[in-house]
Amino acid sequence: MMNLTFLGAAGTVTGSKYLLTSGTRKLLIDCGLFQGVKELRQRNWLPLSVHASEIDAVVLTHAHLDHSGYLPLLVRNGFAGCVFSSAATRALSALLLADSGHLQEEDAAYANKRRFSKHQPAKPLYGVADAHAALGRFTPIEWEKPHYLGGGFHVRLYPAGHILGAALVHVTDGDTSILFSGDLGRPNDPITVAPAHAPRADYLVVESTYGNRVHQSAEPEKEIAEVVRRTAARGGVVVVPAFAVGRAQTLLFYIQRLKRDHQIPDVPVFLNSPMAADVTDIFCEYRPEHRLDPATCQATCNAATFVRDVEESRALNARRGPMIIISASGMLTGGRVLHHLKAFAPDPRNTILLVGYQGEGTRGAALVQGAKSLRIHGEDVRVAAEVVQLSNLSAHADAPEIVDWLRGFDGAPKTTFITHGEPAASQALQERIERELGWKCKRPELGESVNLDAAASRSAGSSGPAVVDRAAAGDPSTATPSST
């Protein structure tokens, strides 16, 4: 009997964690951090409803922190099993997790130095040493080959697009099968591969980040060129908050093509993220897993000056435009880009170019909504710079692309669970799938536990799968804070 519990990404777009139980075996699909508003971030400090030592294995869909970033804490709290992923996800996670630990230590130290934290002293959720311990648990597995996890569980990974190494995760215990989409990529992305044809599964967990949206048809290359040209004409700086994995490389790809074709002036370009610089190198190492040929891959890697140390980063803030600075994080939740915002957001000659999804409660979302100031490091920073959002650079499939991918299934799943989206997006996707495909869907709540076998037996004429009481399942929102 397989049981599925939603420990994250239910009613929100972050914190992906799905607990599968079959017999005595416990498997965690994704192990992500909650990000965004304070209420969500505080959940990272709460204990899981299952003790880390009881989890036998973790399988990652991909390396982004909202799917992997809780791993160091899981290991520190007693997880001793293997973390299974694609080889590229392991390579990227080596950078992402260490960088996450470093940034948390750096932010805590900065908070203590400036004394703007309510906690004295401020402490990181975890550190670099915890990240390295987590990386020691990784075991890469090959694409599309069955891998036995013990206790009857078998897993297969299929390409999902989205970012390098991203996978659809297909799990079976011999009686019941379930497919986790992770984050679905776009079918015609210039760099990442299209999501694979989905294998047959009894149940499906699908993301809904853009479940209520259709990506613009405008060409991103043209829009980027227009932003760079008009900002450079007024002597300004283009500050681009970008996820270090995927989005930063896409930007470099477009910038090198625009310069090659003389569509933008030859302004200096700085990639101010040691992790993003290393990720760009990994793209060349795993070139067969994306669309770029060797020459284009090398040109993309050479499109910017890589800024690695802190002093070089600080020097950029004293420099004036025109120039382009690409820096993490993509939703302005932390990292070096916040220091660039403090330096450049007050000047109307400059532009803040947002190139991806901005989660509810993030500084990026506030900018999209027209905020004239941002709270950064305990200070109110005036925003006079031009703010531009390019949603068509998203690495997530939009609603029509998700439904088109679902049409390729060999038969409808018995239940499709819609997760990893804001409530409006998840609801819109549910209504679209039910209307266009006639599939039975459910939007689970955080902490909800579902008996999948019971769902199968009740699928005909049922209002939904059997649900275990949230309190009995250990809803994280009712837990008491841990000692961390």
DSSP string, 209-228: TBTT-----S-HHHHHHHHH
CA dist., res. 294 & res. 298, Å (int): 6
Q: Options 3.40.50.12780, 3.60.15.10, 3.60.21.10, 1.10.150.120; which CATH number does 2-213+395-478 get? A: 3.60.15.10
CA 13 to chain centre: 9
pLDDT of residue 477: 37
Average pLDDT for the chain:
89
* pLDDT digits 0-9 by tens, 175-213: 999 999 999 999 999 899 999 998 899 999 999 999 999
DSSP 192: B
Q: Which fold has domain 220-393?
A: Rossmann fold (3.40.50)
Residues of the chain with pLDDT > 70, as a percent, come to 92
pLDDT of residue 478: 37
pLDDT of residue 360: 77
Question: Residue 117's pLDDT band (boundaries 50, 70, 90)?
Answer: low
Q: Tell me the pTM.
A: 0.84
* pLDDT digits 0-9 by tens, 60-76: 999 999 999 999 999 99
Angle between helices 423-436 and 399-407 (to 10 degrees): 40
pLDDT of residue 483: 30
* pLDDT digits 0-9 by tens, 24-68: 999 999 999 998 778 898 999 999 999 999 999 999 999 999 999
Q: Are 450 and 205 in contact (CB under 8 A)?
A: no
Judged by average pLDDT, the poorest of 24-28, 274-278, 417-421, 461-465 is 461-465
pLDDT of residue 29: 98
Asked whether the predicted pLDDT for residue 358 surpasses 60, the reply is yes
pLDDT of residue 116: 66
What's the mean pLDDT in 205-227? 92
pLDDT of residue 452: 95
Does residue 386 sit in helix, strand or coil? Answer: strand
Residue (of 259, 241, 226, 224) closest to 325 by Cα position:
241
Asked whether the predicted pLDDT for residue 464 surpasses 80, the reply is no
pLDDT of residue 252: 93
CA dist., res. 60 & res. 55, Å (int): 14
Q: Where in the chain is the domain with CATH 3.40.50.10890?
A: 220-393
Angle between helices 294-301 and 274-285 (to 10 degrees): 170
Asked whether the predicted pLDDT for residue 160 surpasses 60, the reply is yes
What's the mean pLDDT in 429-442? 98
pLDDT of residue 458: 37
Q: Where in the chain is the domain with CATH 3.60.15.10?
A: 2-213+395-478
pLDDT of residue 473: 39
Structure tokens given for 128: 């670099």
CA dist., res. 35 & res. 170, Å (int): 26
pLDDT of residue 391: 67
173 vs 455: which has the higher pLDDT: 173
Asked whether the predicted pLDDT for residue 442 surpasses 90, the reply is yes
Residues 6+ apart with CB under 8 A from 202: 176, 177, 178, 413, 414, 452, 456
